[in-house]
Amino acid sequence: MPDWFNRKTARRESVLAWRAQLAVATRAPGLGMAVADHGITLVVGSDPQYVRRANVVAQLGYARPGLRVHSTLAETIEACRAPFSDEVVRASQ
């Protein structure tokens, strides 16, 4: 992987991953690293028609038991925003 990718992903606190229905089944090294790092908030979603959805659900079930794979992009984004909602409210008070 390029050095810039490693530098950028080393500083992440959360990762959102979405697999669209027509997505080409490709490697996702950023997702793989996030799954392995339990200190990172990980939010994953996959269109129900994504050809490898069952693989995504099964693999995440082994690596991160209890992690929900969301079924819509809106649901996935909302789940990613939720941990930060309290911080935004506290900062504005």
Please give the average pLDDT of every successive group of 10 residues along the chain, which has 93 residues: 60 75 63 71 90 89 91 92 64 46
- Cβ-contact 18, 73 below 8 angstroms: yes
Tokens matching residue 78 = 């909302």
Report which of 70, 59, 69, 66 is spatially closest to residue 36, judged by C-alpha positions. Answer: 59
What is the structure's pLDDT at 21? 78
* Separation CA 30–CA 81 (nearest Å): 19
What is the structure's pLDDT at 75? 94
What is the structure's pLDDT at 93? 46
Phi, then psi, of 43 in degrees rounded to 5: -125, 125
- Tell me the pTM: 0.71
Sheet strands (E) in the chain: 14-19, 41-46, 69-70
